[in-house]
Amino acid sequence: MRRIHYGDHPSQFGLLARAPGEVRGVVVLVHGGFWKPEYGVEYALPLVDSLVERGWTTWVVEYRRGSGAADTLADVRAAIDAAPGGPLVVGIGHSAGGHLATWAAAGGGLTHVVSQAGVLDLRTAHAAGLGGGAVERFLGHPPGDADDAVDPIRMLPIGVPVWCVHGRDDDIVPIGQSQAYVAAGDATLVEVAGDHFAVVDPDSEAWAATLAILDSL
């Protein structure tokens, strides 16, 4: 993988892995971790090999965490703008990365989104105390009307197809997050066996469900 910086901050970089031979498209991988600084790009790396093997050039995004929503959102937007172009550019984000990929798709640059156990309703996530108050730390305040432009469920429709892949036994980001998003707009729910991390286990049937979505494009 080639490390490419899209800004001057140490966290403003992506890791690019080009698929050999005929390329099907580009996958932009956005890791999760409740927007916290202790969780980084390494959480997305196990998925790269299976994507590249199937002909997907893969751009793994790192971004600033812990310094506020404005920094994080600006970095994800800049990283997507720096991704290789093509007719298919699919954002795949896990947990908080599902929030970021879905949010970013509304601004262009992505043709499809796969949210894996995504935090897609910030108000409900805050009310439930997900991530030990992670939403309030991310925003700097409890979510309200002023945050609708960064809350995926309140941004519908976003103009691109969205699949919500979510484990039935997820007790970190409950499947209700994806169910509510799908019920509110034009998205597809893909329920899978397993917990919060099954969807990013490259050996799991849950990850195979994401690969099947890519195969269908």
pTM confidence score: 0.97
Class of domain 2-215: alpha beta
The kind and range of the H/E element at 126 are: helix 122-127
Name the nearest CA neighbour of 179 among 190, 192, 193, 170: 190
Q: Give residue-wise pLDDT tens across range 145-193.
A: 999 999 999 999 999 999 999 999 999 999 999 999 999 988 999 999 9
Tokens in use for 95? 């947990």
Within 10 angstroms of residue 98's Cβ, the number of other Cβ atoms is: 32
The arithmetic mean of pLDDT across residues 93-117, rounded, is 97
Task: Please indicate whether residue 54 or residue 85 has the higher confidence score (pLDDT).
Answer: 54
**pLDDT surpassing 90 at residue 67:** yes
Residue 22 has a pLDDT of 87
Assess whether pLDDT exceeds 90 at residue 207: yes
Strand order of the β-sheet with 89-94 is 2-5, 13-17, 56-61, 25-30, 89-94, 112-116, 162-167, 188-192
Rounded distance, CA 148 to CA 132, Å? 21
Model pLDDT for residues 24-64, shown as the tens digit of each residue: 999 999 999 999 999 999 999 999 999 999 999 999 999 99
Domain ranges of the chain: 2-215
> How much is the pLDDT for 158?
95
Q: How far apart are CA 105 and CA 24, in angstroms?
A: 19
Q: Which residues of 176-194 are buried (b: 16+ CB within 10 A; e: fewer)?
A: bbbbbbbeeeebeebebeb
Between strands 112-116 and 89-94, the pairing is parallel
Give the E-state strand segments of the chain in sequence order: 2-5, 13-17, 25-30, 56-61, 89-94, 112-116, 162-167, 188-192
For tokens 């992670």, what's the residue? Answer: 134
